[in-house]
Structure 1
Amino acid sequence: MEQEILKKWQINVIDFVFSKDELNNFYLTGGTALAGYYLYHRISDDLDFFSFNNFDSMSIHAVAEELRKIIGADKARFSKLYDRNQFYYMVGGEELKIEFTKYPFKQLERAGNFKGVIIDSEYDIAVNKLITITDRFDPKDFVDLYFLLQKYPLEKLQEAVKIKFNTKLDPITVGSSLAKVKMIKALPKMVKPLTIEELKEFFNLEARKLSPLVIS
Structure 2
Amino acid sequence: MKTIVSWQDKVLRILSGRLDNYCLGGGTALSKFYFNHRMSFDLDFFTQRYSRKEIISLLKFLSEESGKDFEILKEQPKKDKVRILVSNARLSPRYSLKIDFVEDYIKRLKPARQSNGIWVFSLEDIYLRKIYAVSGTLENINEIGRRIRTGGRQEAKDFYDLYFLSHTFTNLSAFAGKYCNPAMQEALINWFRSYPRLEIKTGILELRTKNKVDYRAMEKHFKVEIGRILENQIGRV
TM-score w.r.t. the length of structure 1 is 0.81
Q: Indicate whether 1:106 and 2:107 are aligned.
A: yes
Q: How far did 1:34 drift?
A: 0.5
**CA positional deviation for 1:170:** 3.8
Contact 2:75 2:84 in 1 (8 A): yes
Residues 137 and 147 (structure 1 numbering): CA distance in 2 closer, same or farther, change over 3 Å?
same
Indicate the SS of the match to 1:98.
strand
Question: Residues of 1 paired with 2:57 and 2:118: CA distance?
Answer: 20
Per the alignment, residue 171 of structure 2 pairs with 153
Instruction: Within 5 Å, give how 1:28-39 maps onto structure 2.
Output: 28-39=24-35
Retained in 2: the 8 A contact 1:49–1:101? Answer: yes
Partner secondary structure for residue 111 of structure 2: coil
Aligned with 1:66 (options 53, 61, 70):
61
**Structure 2 Cα separation of the partners of residues 104 and 170 of structure 1:** 18
Deviation at residue 88 of structure 1 after TM alignment: 1.6
For residue 69 of structure 1, report the CA deviation from its aligned partner: 4.8
Shift of 1:15: 1.7
Answer whether contact 1:130 1:157 (CA < 8 A) is retained: no
How far apart are 1:153 and its partner, in Å?
2.6
After superposition, the CA RMSD in angstroms is 2.5
**Contact 2:59–2:70 (CA<8 Å) still a contact in 1?**
no
Aligned residue runs from structure 1 range 14-29, under 5 A:
14-20=12-18, 23-29=19-25
What is the rounded CA distance, in whole Å, between the counterparts of 1:88 and 1:31 in structure 2? Answer: 17
Greater mean deviation of Cα atoms: 6-15 or 149-158? 149-158
Question: Structure 1 vs Structure 2: percent identity of aligned residues?
Answer: 25
Return the alpha-carbon distance in structure 2 between the equivalents of residues 155 and 84 of structure 1: 30
- Consecutive unaligned residues in structure 2, runs of 5 or more: 78-82, 136-151
Distance 2:185 2:69 in 1: 46
Q: Aligned pairs, how many?
A: 204
Q: Give the C-alpha shift of residue 40 in structure 1.
A: 0.9
After TM superposition, the structure 1 = structure 2 runs for residues 46-195 of structure 1, keeping only pairs within 5 Å, are 46-55=42-51, 57-73=52-68, 76-82=71-77, 83-92=83-92, 93-134=94-135, 135-150=152-167, 151-158=169-176, 159-162=178-181, 168-171=183-186, 173-179=187-193, 180=195, 182-183=197-198, 184=200, 185-187=202-204, 188-195=207-214
Structure 1, unaligned stretches of length 5 or more? none
Displacement of 1:142 in angstroms is: 0.9
SS of corresponding position for 1:169: helix
- Secondary structure (helix, strand or coil) at the match of 2:183 reads coil
CA distance in 2 between counterparts of 1:75 and 1:104 reads: 25
Q: Higher mean Cα deviation, 186-195 or 151-160?
A: 151-160
Q: Structure 2 vs 1, CA of residues 74 and 86 (structure 1 numbering), >3 Å: closer, same or farther?
A: closer
The TM-score with structure 2 as length reference comes to 0.75
2:157 corresponds to which letter in structure 1?
A: K
Q: Identify if the C-alpha distance between structure 1 residues 111 and 75 changes in structure 2 by more than 3 Å, giving closer, same or farther.
A: closer
- Pair 1:153–1:197, CA change in 2 (3 A): closer
